[in-house]
Amino acid sequence: MLLLTGERSPAHLRRAAELLRAAVPGSCLTAFPGVGHNAPDQEDPVRVARALAAFLRSV
């Protein structure tokens, strides 16, 4: 499972992602510096696409 979050996302969402990473063996959590909750569709789609491609190559 790939989990993506932004460092500027609300604290409860970052915490939920951390809990999921801890609960799901083999999961990967990426926190994007300087990015808020809307990283995939508004703030940094290129960086998100790169993280997704790297994850897919690893599975």
The model's pTM? 0.83
Domain range annotation of the chain: 2-58
CA nearest 5: which of 45, 35, 26, 46?
Answer: 35
- For 11-55, write each residue's pLDDT tens digit: 999 999 999 999 999 999 999 988 888 866 788 888 889 999 999
CA nearest 55: which of 26, 21, 15?
Answer: 26
Token pair, residue 18, equals 């951390």
Sign of CA dihedral 34, 10, 19, 53: negative
